[in-house]
Amino acid sequence: MVDTTVDFSQQNSSTSGGVSGFRFLGLLAIPLIVALILLIAVNFVVFRALDYYHWVKPESVMGTMVQTEGLVEHQIVPGKKNIIVIGDSRVSEGFSAVIANATSNRPDLNFIQAGMPGTEPRVWYYFLRKIDPKQQKFSAVVLMASHFDDGHQPYDPAARVDDLTYLQPLATYKDAFKIASTFNGIEAGIHAFATMMLPLTAARVDIQDFVLHSRKRVDEAQQWHEHFYEWSLGYPGQEGSVPSLDKNDLAKFDFKSAGLPPLKVNAMDVYVKGLLGQGKTIPAADFGRYRSKWFGSIADEYQRAGVSVFVFQAPRGPYETSGTASAADTRDGSLRVMAREGRLKLLDFKPLEQLEEPKYFFDSLHVNAEGRKIMSPALAHLVSEQIPATR
């Protein structure tokens, strides 16, 4: 006869073990959650309530963003049409608001320089939102583009984790999830979310230095807050120029012999390879989506406020006429699509094309002091033509 008796003692023991396991996990989760909440609270107190960003090292990445905020505010002139020019180090080196305002022949306009070395359009979007949340401070926004088409980008800016450090002083905790969603992949998104929620992770070295040299750091920060705009507006540009070479010399020339530092030599090698069609680029469609997202977001928000957004193609390098690239490139791309849709306006590239010569560049990317003297009034004139004069 088959024994069909159920051993409830074993069943109850198994069930009890499972419940105990869940209870243990629950008890373990509580202190972890509390610790996480406390960690977020500490980050909030340090960076928001106590405004540590005001005291970050001025020459650091975060310090650059904080100082540029102050620079823009110092340049705004009430009663004039304030026009902000935004870009990376090519704007820092190539555009002078002082020269632009002195040569525009438009007393109703006031050009504002906002070059932020190492930044990309994702950062520009949050920078503008931080300094102009209601889109009311500027009569026009001028954005820099490396090319009007999408086929020349050597790396994927959507995956650029360096953006997170630039974004720390600009974004809020509410932005953490949205920013994380703009990175490619789950792992990158989680990293971005955690970094935005816990800025101490990005600023720990800066904070350690502040603790060790607090008096010096406070004095340094105060000095920069008081004088950075004077230094920036008075900056004349870099002297020197790269050697004059023709197409046949580019591939074999040793730029170390021209006195360029190692980082500049590496950048020049990348530039030359790209110019000769030997460099790597990301798919144009990927870069187009990135530009549509960030140029488009800036344009759409300002368009709703009745503010025009202009895009200019920065001088691309010193040897463009020597290589295969052409400023007359008319391939379609995201910027041209948005221009046709009326969301933004592309400025004529030809006046700035004249700068694409060795004598106007001090490295592979940046115009020198002489180039700055030409680029500033040329860009001011291009923008001025688009804005009706006040009578």
Q: How confident is the model at residue 323 (pLDDT cuts 50, 70, 90)?
A: very low
Q: CA-to-CA distance for 95 and 375, rounded, in angstroms? A: 6
Amino acid 357: pLDDT: 94
Work out whether strand 140-145 and strand 109-115 pair parallel, antiparallel, or are unpaired: unpaired
Q: What is the mean pLDDT of residues 327-350?
A: 86
Q: Is 317 left (phi over 0), alpha (psi -120 to 50) or beta?
A: left
List phi, psi (to 5°) of 117: -55, 135
Indicate if the pLDDT at residue 14 is higher than 50.
no
Q: Looking at 9-13, 116-120, 148-152, 190-194, which range is the least confident one?
A: 9-13
SS3 of 152-189: CCCCCHHHCCCHHHHHCCCCCHHHHHHHHHCCCCHHHH
Residues of 260-280 as b/e, b for ≥16 C-beta within 10 angstroms? beeebbebbebbbebbbeeee
- What does the pLDDT read at residue 324? 44
State residue 321's pLDDT score. 72
Above pLDDT 90, what percent of the chain? 68
Residue in 156, 144, 90 with CA at minimum distance from that of residue 290: 156
Q: What is the pTM for the complete model shown?
A: 0.87
Instruction: Tell me the pLDDT band of 173, cut-offs 50, 70 and 90.
Output: confident
Contact 62, 168 (CB under 8 A): yes
Each residue's pLDDT tens digit, 193-208: 999 988 877 788 888 8
pLDDT at 199: 83
Name the β-bridge partners of 85.
113, 142
Average pLDDT score over the chain: 87
Residue length of the chain = 391
- Per-residue pLDDT tens for 213-228? 999 999 999 999 999 9
Contact between 217 and 210 under an 8 Å Cβ cutoff? The reply is: yes
Contacts of 272 (CB under 8 A, 6+ apart): 250, 251, 319, 323, 364
pLDDT class for 46, splitting at 50, 70, 90? low
- Taking 80 as the threshold, does the pLDDT of residue 375 lie above it? yes
Instruction: Please tell me the distance from the alpha carbon of residue 142 to that of residue 113, in angstroms, as a whole number.
Output: 10
Pairing of strands 308-313, 345-346: parallel
Give 239-297 pLDDT, tens digit per residue. 999 999 987 788 889 898 888 889 899 999 989 988 888 888 999 999 999 999 999 99
Q: How confident is the model at residue 9 (pLDDT cuts 50, 70, 90)?
A: very low
Q: Is a pLDDT exceeding 90 seen at residue 157? A: yes
Sheet architecture: strand order including 140-145: 109-115, 81-87, 140-145, 308-313, 345-346
Residue 363 has pLDDT above 90, yes or no: yes
